[in-house]
Amino acid sequence: MKLSDLEYIPHADLLAPEALFRVQITRALPTTVRIGRLLLPPSTLMNGRFDLNGVPVGYFGEAPETAAYESLCRREVRSISLEMLKKRSLICVQAQEKLRLVDLRPHARAWPVLQSLRIGHTQELAWEALMQGFAGVVYRSAQQLGMDCFAIFGDALRSLKFVWSERLVERSTECLHVTLAETVCRSRLVLAP
């Protein structure tokens, strides 16, 4: 899919000090891409909707709940492992400078492919956005109605300032983080060992 397939290409500016949220692994793996305190999967996996081969992409939600729904409590998931959750944290970052993003939100209704599992199309669109100088895309969450998500590309990730990190499962009590508890409950997921 090309940007030119869209009727028009609006842009949105992510302005400082807007906060974004992400669920990520707590400890880096040997293949983890580190950008400051961001821990990203290898850029060659190409599993994400706006992934770019060889360029790191960070996915964020506009709210902590959005990050949890997008990364853990997805529609296709039936159960979630407590052991996996123990290895994840919710993080908050803030924009430190203006980032110019392609705004796909106005196109969500007319172009359902933007939220589908046919991610080759959206990855192609992301590549074209990067080539045109955009720092990423803002798009509607496919997991939480009415909420927005952000895919930030490559060097633009360095402009995000780390603010805080909270484990999704408290080590000593094994209590779930309040955001996680709410999203698991509202998603009606089974919590497995």
pLDDT of residue 115: 78
Question: What is the pLDDT, as a whole number, of residue 30?
Answer: 94
193 residues of the chain, pLDDT tens digit each: 888 888 889 999 999 999 999 999 999 999 999 999 999 999 888 889 999 999 999 999 999 999 999 999 888 889 999 999 999 999 999 999 999 999 999 998 888 888 777 889 999 999 999 999 999 999 999 888 889 999 999 999 999 999 999 999 998 888 999 999 999 999 998 988 8
Q: What is the pLDDT of residue 54?
A: 93
pLDDT of residue 143: 87
Taking Cα atoms as reference points, which of 51, 70, 75 lies closest to residue 147?
70
How many whole angstroms separate alpha carbon 80 and alpha carbon 117?
A: 20
Q: What's residue 69's pLDDT?
A: 94
Which residues, in sequence order, are CB contacts of 8 under 8 Å at separation 6+? none
**Confidence at residue 174, expressed as pLDDT on a 0 to 100 scale:** 87
- Dist CA 143 CA 122 (whole Å): 17
pLDDT at 110: 86
Distance CA(57)–CA(157), nearest Å, equals 8
The domains of the chain are located at: 3-184
